[in-house]
Amino acid sequence: MQVAERSIMLQSRADRIFLHIMSDLHIGSAQCDEEEIVRCLKAGGGKEHHYYIFCGDIIDCIGHKDKRFHPSKLHRAFVGIDDILGSEIEYAAELLKKHLEPGQILGLLDGNHERKSLEYCSFHPVRRIVEMINGYTTGIPQAQYLGYHCLYRLMIRRNKSKGAASFVIHAHHGWGGGGRTAGGSITKYDRHAMQYSADIHCYGHSHDPGLKPIVQDVSIMRTRLEIDIRNSWLICCPAFQKTLSQPGETEPWAETMGFPLRPMGGIVMEIDVDWEMGKAKAVMPSPE
Ligand SMILES: [Fe+2]
């Protein structure tokens, strides 16, 4: 498990923080929905206090010796290239750098697809993407490599104010086979999430979007005899990999296995700061 921290300085009480969570982009797969990826990157790209975290399976990472490899599963941009993994890494890093400002990316997790590359070739694709994103920039908060499972703390401060509020992100790529019941993965992740003290719990892998508020902790208030209920959010991230092929294309694995069609995209949460209590919590952003 990895830990990381980022310090965020706001100018005033009116400043708002947005957290964009994206998972399972599967860049390199013929079914990768790049249009949707770009839409989500543009939604917060270049905007102040919009931060991004990527929860694994960023690249599809299936080489020709992998038993899952099939020429029809490769995105057309990678056909005829022998360095498939290297090209996917470069493509992913360039895409993120093109749409996001340096400092906007909090970090990137491994998924089971990238971990296969570690297993087969002792090669860490996400570490390489992180190096390419950070490049030689100095004086700007760097994107972190977050392993498969992490706790990431945001320390939020306000100009000319002494106090700080903390906000903790718990992220895990996820595990297990896919379910055909919509929302079915929420139960297994719910049980796992309860072991970790965080304001938000993010899981990928299942390609089964779901969002659920959970009671994290019930305690007595420190300053008075009242009950303090701490809520957090469980987020099962949607993916960016299509289930259904277009006419003429070979049906992807998910389609042949009867997986349901699911909405794709990212999740955006707003972080609301309670300066008096020194706490921050996630709320669903209101439509603008
Ligand atoms: Fe996965």
In a domain, 37, yes or no: yes
Q: How much distance in Å is there from the Cα of 140 to the middle of ligand 1?
A: 30
What pLDDT, on a 0 to 100 scale, did the predictor assign at position 238? Answer: 93
Find all residues with CB under 8 Å of 126, minimum gap 6, and list them.
56, 58, 108, 109, 110, 114, 145
Q: How much distance in Å is there from the Cα of 60 to the middle of ligand 1?
A: 9
In a domain, 47, yes or no: yes
- Tell me the CATH number at 127: 3.60.21.10
Distance separating alpha carbons of residues 253 and 155, to the nearest angstrom:
42
In a domain, 288, yes or no: no
Q: How much distance in Å is there from the Cα of 12 to the middle of ligand 1?
A: 39
Q: How much distance in Å is there from the Cα of 102 to the middle of ligand 1?
A: 26
Q: How much distance in Å is there from the Cα of 235 to the middle of ligand 1?
A: 15
What pLDDT, on a 0 to 100 scale, did the predictor assign at position 286? Answer: 62
Tell me: the pLDDT tens digits for 102-147?
899 999 999 999 999 998 889 999 999 999 999 877 778 999 999 9
Q: How much distance in Å is there from the Cα of 266 to the middle of ligand 1?
A: 15
N-terminal to C-terminal alpha carbon distance within the chain: 37
Q: Which of 47-56, 252-261, 267-276 has the highest mean pLDDT?
A: 47-56
pTM of this prediction?
A: 0.93
Range 37-42 contact pairs with CB under 8 angstroms and sequence separation of 24 or more: 37/95, 37/240, 38/95, 38/99, 39/265, 40/265, 40/266, 41/95, 41/96, 41/99, 41/100, 42/99
List Cα–Cα distances, 215 to 29, 107, 192, 233, 282, in angstroms.
38, 26, 14, 8, 13
SS3 content of the chain, % helix, strand, coil (to 5): 25, 30, 45
In a domain, 273, yes or no: yes
In a domain, 246, yes or no: yes
User: Which domain covers residue 212, as residue numbers?
Assistant: 2-283
Q: How many domains does the chain have?
A: 1
Average pLDDT of 226-255? 89
In a domain, 239, yes or no: yes
In a domain, 87, yes or no: yes
Q: State whether residue 83 is helix, strand or coil.
A: coil
Nearest one of 92, 142, 211, 119 to 203, comparing CA atoms: 211
In a domain, 8, yes or no: yes
What pLDDT, on a 0 to 100 scale, did the predictor assign at position 185? Answer: 86
Q: Does the pLDDT at position 287 exceed 60?
A: no
Q: Does the pLDDT at position 259 exceed 90?
A: no
